[in-house]
Structure 1
Amino acid sequence: MVKENLYQPFEIDFKELKEFPKAMYKNNFFKLIYIVDGTGLQYINQYSFNYRKGNLFLITPQDSYSFVIEDKTKFFFLSFNDIYIRPKTNKDNDWVQRMEYILQNASHRPGCILKNRVDKPLVSVLVEAIYNENNFLQLYHAKIVQQIVNTLILVVARNIALKLPKNIKENTGEPVLDILHYIQQHIFEQEKLKSECIGEAFGISLAYLGRYFKKQTGETLQQYILNYKLRLIETRLLHSDMRINEIANELNFSDESHLHRMFKKHKGLSPSQYRKRNL
């Protein structure tokens, strides 16, 4: 495992490679990787994805990653740490806490993060603008690059937030964000996902917890946990070679048939049919 270091609040690099260094990388900072051109395979944690021009990946501090290049690839790398997105004034504090939450939330969402169709050409323009500013070094280029980087990170946050519960907004109360983070942290620990445990962890009564969570997110607590598990199952079906019984065991279903029934009820296909159709 290779660890890289970050010496500035953010660092930018463009590389054109025929072969990616044969190593897995893991860092203590965030890294955006945009495919300017080329094709190949990205490995992140235990999953693999075909990449192509226009894909954007966010590597969080929890992730390990590498690439296998098929066609010569031009990469854009933007590395930044949580210090970079921390508030400069108390006025900014609430929004930045949401930003940190949103970016950390990406750790369970491997693959291209551009889900909003209108943002794809926008990201292409932003990356090209950074490239041009770095090449021509005109007056105020450093300040302009910083503003473009800020915009790019906001676009990333917006695309990740699209997959959060439907009522989550940038001004959503902090307690529910902490609850969502708790659920994601403990999604593989069935006991800790019980309402009683969540309420106890946050000092919230069982009666109030359900009403509060539904009001803040638009989903019941159990709906959110189920939908989150469904997304994890989809990821494993499409981007890993895990068997159905292994996925069922990991996510604490009583057995493979239990996962099969639940998945088919909500997706209209069995897990094996879903994997076969989408692959």
Structure 2
Amino acid sequence: MEVRNLYSAYELEWFETQDYTAKARKNTFFEMVFVMEGTGVQIINEHQLPYAPNKLFLIFPEDLHSFEVQSLSQFFFIRFNNDYLKTQNSQNIRELEYIFNSHNHLPGCIFKTVTDKPFIRAAVEALIREKENNSPQKEQIIQQLINTIISYAARNLTLQEKEVFKGKISSVMPIINYLHQHIFEPEKLKVNCIAGAFNLSPKYVGEYFRKHTGESLQQYIMLYKLKLIESRLLLTDMRISEISLEFGFTDQSHLNRIFKRYKGTTPSSYRKKRIT
């Protein structure tokens, strides 16, 4: 099985083929695939998914994927790695983190809003044009277009989850998705607010969550925050004081204490050891 690496911050590729069966492979990077033309089958982790024009697929690192072409097909690939993330602002990173941590989304095209399709196609066509010319601000415009597509992807994943669960708790995943979506909104992370979102009593929602995860709501929230903070430390140049403010800690010393309690080291030491 082929394992592919990416040696630049991002990569754009337009690919056309009429008779092609890709071998199963894994990436060490994140990939979005937009189908410009054609029909066939996309295979992701043994799920066979028909593709057609104007469909958008997400491929995570470590996903096993391939595709089979049935008619003349045109694909546009957007690939990026951690170096690309380091160039993004806080809001873009949040959207990327949401995508990265939403592995429970259903396989297949992510579009849940039909009206989004022409906007994504227009953005992809603009990327193709920018890729081929040397106009001023080329790199800046390319990154803005990529980030626009990422924002649409994040929104459709949110809509996908709402459609799947329809506000009913049949498993713990809807609550986890809610926590991920509102991790930067302290008021919405309070037990009463979470319970209200799912029409449950505060006592029951806590018991339910612990039963299915083995963790309390507050413990899960803290561990998820720390996971995102690790991303900030590795993927951005944000000061630790800025990170502590973003995640709702009283100050930097408060974050230092919590981080050391769970991770056994301070944020600054963690960043230094992982980057050097």
Say yes or no: TM over 0.5: yes
- For the 8 Å contact 2:105–2:161, the answer to whether it is kept is no
Shift of 1:164: 3.9
Cα distance in 1 for residues equivalent to 2:57 and 2:187? 27
1:1-279, aligned counterparts within 5 Å?
1-86=1-86, 92=90, 96-97=93-94, 99-106=96-103, 108-164=105-161, 168-169=181-182, 171-173=184-186, 194-195=211-212, 197-199=214-216, 202=219
Q: How many residues align?
A: 188
Alpha-carbon displacement from aligned partner over 1:6-58 (angstroms, at most 9, x marks no partner): 11121100010123354102112110001000000111102101110111100
SS of 1:194 mapped into structure 2:
helix
Residues 135 and 199 (structure 1), Cα distance of their counterparts in 2 relative to 1, 3 Å cut: same
- What residue identity is the alignment partner of 1:153? I
Shift of 1:203: 7.2
Cα distance in 1 for residues equivalent to 2:126 and 2:54? 15
Structure 1: gaps of 5 or more residues = 177-191, 205-279
- For the 8 Å contact 1:62–1:107, the answer to whether it is kept is no
SS of 1:117 mapped into structure 2:
coil
Residues 170 and 5 (structure 1), Cα distance of their counterparts in 2 relative to 1, 3 Å cut: same
- For the 8 Å contact 1:35–1:55, the answer to whether it is kept is yes
Cα distance in 2 for residues equivalent to 1:23 and 1:30? 18
Residues 173 and 27 (structure 1), Cα distance of their counterparts in 2 relative to 1, 3 Å cut: farther
CA RMSD after TM alignment: 3.2
Shift of 1:169: 4.7
State the percentage of identical aligned residues: 32
Corresponding position of 1:257:
none
Cα distance in 2 for residues equivalent to 1:87 and 1:175? 29
Residues 130 and 170 (structure 1), Cα distance of their counterparts in 2 relative to 1, 3 Å cut: farther
Residues 115 and 24 (structure 1), Cα distance of their counterparts in 2 relative to 1, 3 Å cut: same
SS of 2:214 mapped into structure 1:
helix
Give the TM-score normalised by the residue count of structure 1.
0.58
- For the 8 Å contact 1:116–1:159, the answer to whether it is kept is yes
- What residue identity is the alignment partner of 1:109? L
Shift of 1:84: 2.4
SS of 1:129 mapped into structure 2:
helix
Shift of 1:108: 3.9
